Amino acid sequence: MSILLFILGVLVMVVAVGVSIGLHEVGHLIPAKRFGVRVPQYMIGFGKTLFSVKRGDTEYGFKAIPLGGYISMIGMYPPARNKGVVGATDAPILRKSSTGMFQQMADEARHAAAEQLQPGDENRLFYKLPVYKRIIIMLGGPVMNLLIGIAMVGIVTVGFGMPTQTSTVDEVYQCVVPLGQETTRDASVNNGCLPSDAPGPAYAAGLRPGDKITSFAGKPVGNTDWVQLTQAIRGHAGEPVPLTYARDGVEHSTSITPYKTERPLINDQGQIVTDASGKRETVEVGFIGMGSKVENISQPISAVLPAVGTQLKGVTAVVLDLPARVAAVGKAAFSDAPRDPNGPISVVGVGRIAGEISAMDQIGVADKVASLFSLIGGLNIALFVFNLIPLLPLDGGHVIGALFESVRRFFAKLFKRPDPGPVDIAKMLPLTYVVAVGMMVMGAVLIYADIVKPVSIFG
C-alpha cells in the first residue's frame, strides 16, 4: 500500500509540474494573441511532437521530452540592419557569407525566423510591438507561476491552516537541562534528569501534558499566544508569578517561578536568532520547562501574501547563489559530504518528496493534501524567481533586452540621433547557448544527486 501511495504522490507532482508549465506558457500566449502577434506553436515539452491539433493560427501539442514548454512567436529576431541604406531597417537581409561563427549563428537564426513569415505578418511581428507590450508578454509566464503559488499558499494557509504553536501544553520537563546537553541525555533514565539539575518549574507547579494555559501574570493567554507567553516567561526570571490553566474543562490556579538559565535568543516571531556564522545566540532568561502543542490553525487572508513573501525571499537567496549551491550538491553526490537539506533540488527530488509525503502513515489525509499543495506552491514560486534571471533564454533576459532598447531609444531621441532600432537578440545567441548548456548541466547534477543522495524532509 505504501508503494502505491508513493507512486500516487509522484504522479500528482508530475501532473502538477505539467500543468504549471502549461499555464506558464498560457501566461505568454494570452497577451501575445491579445496584442496581435501570430503564435505558430504552443508546445509542452521538447523534441519530437507526440500529439498536436491546430486551432486558428496556432498548433497546440505535446512533445516527447516533458522538461519544459514554449510558444513560438513571429518576429522574435528583428532583421539585420543595412547600415549602408537609409530606411532599410525593416528589410530582412540574408548574407551569403559571414564574418565569423557568431555572426553566422545570428544569420541562421534570422533565416529560420524569416521562413516562418507569411503574407500579412508585417504588422504581427513581436519585435515591432511597443516595449511595454513585449515586457507584458514575457512577464506573463512568470506572473502566472506566481499566481499559482499564491493560490496554493492561500489554500493551505486559509483552508488547511498553518502549523501553529498553541497554549496547550504538549510536554512537561521534570528538570532544567543545561543548554547544549539536551541531545546527550538518555530520556529513558530518570526522564533524562541528573541529581544536579534544577527541578522543572512547570512540573513542580503541577502542569501536565494536555493542560491549556489561560493566563500568566494576570494577563489572559489566547490559543495562539504561545510566542507572547514565552516572551513573558522569559521576562520574569526568578519571580513567583500567578498562572491559570484548564484541565478537562476545569479551571485551576497555581504559582510558578521561572528558572533563570541560558537559553537561545528568539525574535518576536518565536524564531531562534543566529549570528553571522550561523551560531545560535544565547541569553539568560526565565525558563519553566514545557513544550507547546502544534496544531493547524486557519490564518486570515491577510497572512497569505506575507507567507508568499517569506518563500520568495528564501528562493531568491538560493537562486542568487545557485552555481555555488549546485556545486555543493555535486560535491555531496560524489563524496561522503552531507547534503544541505535547504539546497536546490530537481523535479526528480520534488517528485520523490511528494511520494514520501503520500506514503507516510504518521500523518492524516488532510495533512498530506496540504503538504502537496505547499509543495506545488513552492515549485511555482521557484519557477517565478528562476525565470526572472536576466539572462537569455529565460524570460528575464528578454525583459532586460526590451528595457535596454527603451533606454537606448530614449537617449537617441534626447540627443536627436537616428533611431537605433530594436535590440537584435540574435547577436546574443552564443551567450544564450552557453546559459542553456549551463542550466542543463546544473539540472543533470541535481537529478543525479536526487537519485543517489536525495533530500528527505523526514530525516
Q: Give all strands (DSSP E) within 82-200, no chain letters.
A: 162-172, 175-176, 198-199
Return d(Cα 405, Cα 21) in angstroms, integer.
28
Q: Is 453 helix (H, G, I), strand (E, B) or coil?
A: coil
Which grid coordinates belong to 220?
A: 489572559
Could you count the other beta carbons within 10 Å of the beta carbon of residue 29? Answer: 23
- DSSP, collapsed to helix, strand or coil, labels residue 192 as helix
In angstroms, rounded to a whole number, what is the distance separating the alpha carbons of residues 60 and 107?
28
Count how many residues are written for the chain.
459
Rounded to whole angstroms, how far apart are CA atoms 254 and 163? 29
**Residues 390/400, Cβ–Cβ less than 8 Å:** yes
Contact 76, 70 (CB under 8 A): no
Give the burial class of 241: count Cβ atoms within 10 A of its Cβ; 0-12 exposed, 13-18 middle, 19 or more buried.
buried
Rg, Å, the chain Cα set: 30
Q: Residue 121's CB: how many other CB atoms inside 10 A? A: 14
**Three-class secondary structure of residue 299 per DSSP:** coil
Catalytic, 295? Answer: no
> C-alpha grid cell for residue 279?
551560531
Of 25, 122, 356, 405, which is the active-site residue?
25
- C-beta of residue 352 within 8 angstroms of C-beta of residue 449: no
Active site (catalytic) residues: 25
